[in-house]
């Protein structure tokens, strides 16, 4: 889905939908409270968010795992596998599974550490915990089936919490006070922390981070690109492409987790040829397209740069250390 524009600020339409948001929020809370609350054999770190769409959970999950691995912790990932046909629990096999099987995020995670997909998060946590020191769960903040040792909320520093209302009146998956109260750490990705200052509990630490290209920006500067993306907030990608000095001749948005058809890819290649440009997309879109269909398409790989990585290490050691 693509977030409607009225989710960004309160409006008459948003006012009309508030009662439905109250029902949605109540149902979310009930489902969370009646969850199995399974305790895994090792600490579980949940990377979640409060809004529908992309806030940057997967890049943060990868970055957190990198910090843990640097501290000699064996990390396994757990994902629901949104968009994939496999319900699991199973371990992702990069030689066998595609995005159609397990979703796009698990393929990115599996390139870094053993990754497990399961619609039943408690069954998935049990499998993922075998042989692991820590399980990093990508998404699942509103799911009560697994006990979390650390709950990290990722907030888009530009979008924030939109109009602050619960779906369908706004972008929130649950009420703002209820969600923030369960957070152990808030990571503001991009933008600045002003979007949540005065809203989050004063006892919850806030860290700032940015997404930066892995490759040298000079390698892209001055090149002509048609940028396309099927992620939660495509504009974040387009902004990054512009910031590294690319000449963006066109930017094309698709719905989040969009499954690209052969005709769509052929049309993109035709547009690029007609405009003497290259095709540039996100890593998530690239793995969803698949290596066999990616001719002429370049993925822009990004990494998380922490403003205070030492503070993150302290929090991880305190709540998910060796004990």
pLDDT digits (tens, 9 = 90+) for 290-315: 988 999 999 999 999 999 999 999 99
Residue 112 to residues 136, 148, 154: CA-CA distances in angstroms? 12, 22, 20
Q: Assign 273 a pLDDT band (cuts: 50, 70, 90).
A: very high
User: Alpha helix (H) ranges present in the chain?
Assistant: 12-33, 57-70, 99-102, 104-110, 121-128, 176-181, 234-243, 262-274, 283-289, 309-320
Sign of the C-alpha dihedral, residues 63, 166, 179, 173? negative
**Cβ(134)–Cβ(71) below 8 Å:** no
Residues 6+ apart with CB under 8 A from 309: 67
Residue 244 has pLDDT above 80, yes or no: yes
Place of tokens 């290596």: 291
222's tokens: 């001055």
Average pLDDT of the residues in 192-199: 76
Do residues 75 and 133 make contact, with C-beta atoms less than 8 angstroms apart? yes
Q: How many CA atoms lie less than 13 Å away from 240 in the CB half-sphere?
A: 27
Average the pLDDT over 32-47 and give the result: 92
pLDDT greater than 80 at residue 168: yes
* pLDDT-derived band at 80, boundaries 50, 70, 90: very high
Distance CA 19, CA 231 (A): 29
| H or E stretch covering 136 | strand 134-138
- pLDDT of 116 strictly over 80: yes
CATH topology (fold) of 5-211+305-320 = Rossmann fold (3.40.50)
Domain ranges of the chain: 5-211+305-320, 215-300
Contact call for residues 261 and 290 (beta carbons, < 8 A): no
187 vs 305: CA distance, rounded Å? 12
The alpha-helical segments, DSSP class H, found in 137-291 are 176-181, 234-243, 262-274, 283-289
Return d(Cα 270, Cα 254) in angstroms, integer.
Answer: 17
Phi–psi pair at 178, nearest 5 degrees: -65, -40
Across the range 65-71, mean pLDDT stands at 96
Would you say 160 and 200 are in contact if contact means Cβ atoms under 8 Å apart? no
Pairing of β 302-306 and β 206-213:
antiparallel
User: What is the pLDDT, as a whole number, of residue 1?
Assistant: 59
CB 244 within 8 A of CB 302: no
Q: Which of 248, 202, 215 is nearest to 229 (CA)?
A: 248
The reply to whether 215-300 shares the fold of 5-211+305-320 is yes
Confidence of residue 322 (pLDDT cuts 50, 70, 90): low
Task: Examine the pLDDT at 276 and tell me if it is beyond 90.
Answer: yes
Please give the model's pTM, rounded to 2 decimal places. Answer: 0.93
CATH of domain 215-300: 3.40.50
> Rounded to whole angstroms, how far apart are CA atoms 101 and 271?
30
Q: Which of 233, 166, 253, 153 is nearest to 195 (CA)?
A: 153
Q: Determine the average pLDDT of the residues in 200-206.
A: 88
Q: Which two tokens stand for residue 21?
A: 């948001």
Mean pLDDT, residues 240-252 taken together: 90
**Average of per-residue pLDDT across 6-27:** 94
- Is the pLDDT assigned to residue 148 strictly greater than 90? yes
pLDDT score at 323: 47
Q: Give CA torsion, residues 22, 24, 29, 30, to 10 deg.
A: 110
């Amino acid at each position: 889905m693509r977030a409607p524009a009225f989710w960004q600020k309160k409006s008459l339409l948003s006012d009309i939908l508030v009662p439905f948001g109250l029902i949605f929020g109540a149902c979310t809370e009930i489902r969370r409270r009646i969850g199995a609350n399974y305790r895994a054999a090792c600490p579980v770190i949940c990377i979640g968010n409060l809004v529908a769409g992309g806030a940057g959970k997967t890049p943060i999950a990868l970055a957190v795992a990198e910090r843990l691995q640097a501290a000699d912790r064996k990390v396994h990932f757990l994902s629901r596998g949104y968009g994939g046909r496999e319900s699991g629990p199973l371990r992702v096999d990069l030689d066998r599974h595609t995005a159609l099987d397990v979703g796009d995020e698990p393929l990115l995670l599996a390139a870094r550490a053993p990754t497990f997909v399961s619609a039943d998060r408690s069954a998935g946590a049990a499998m993922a915990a075998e042989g692991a020191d820590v399980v990093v769960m990508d998404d699942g903040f509103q799911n009560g089936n697994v006990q979390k040792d650390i709950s990290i909320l990722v907030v888009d520093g530009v979008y924030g919490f939109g109009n602050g209302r619960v779906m369908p009146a706004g972008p929130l998956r649950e009420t703002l006070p209820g969600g923030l109260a369960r957070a152990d750490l808030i990571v503001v990705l991009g933008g600045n922390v002003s979007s949540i200052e005065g809203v989050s509990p004063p006892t919850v630490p806030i860290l700032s981070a940015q997404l930066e290209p892995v490759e040298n920006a000079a390698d892209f500067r001055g090149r002509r690109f048609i940028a396309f993306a099927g992620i939660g907030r495509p504009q974040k990608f387009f902004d990054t492409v512009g910031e590294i000095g690319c000449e963006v001749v066109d930017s094309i948005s698709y719905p989040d987790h969009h499954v690209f058809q052969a005709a769509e890819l052929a049309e993109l290649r035709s547009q690029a040829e007609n405009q003497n440009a290259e095709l540039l997309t996100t890593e998530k879109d690239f793995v969803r397209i698949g290596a066999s269909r990616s001719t002429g398409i370049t993925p822009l790989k990004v990494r998380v740069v922490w403003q205070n990585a030492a503070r993150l290490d302290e929090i991880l050691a305190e709540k998910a250390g060796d004990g």
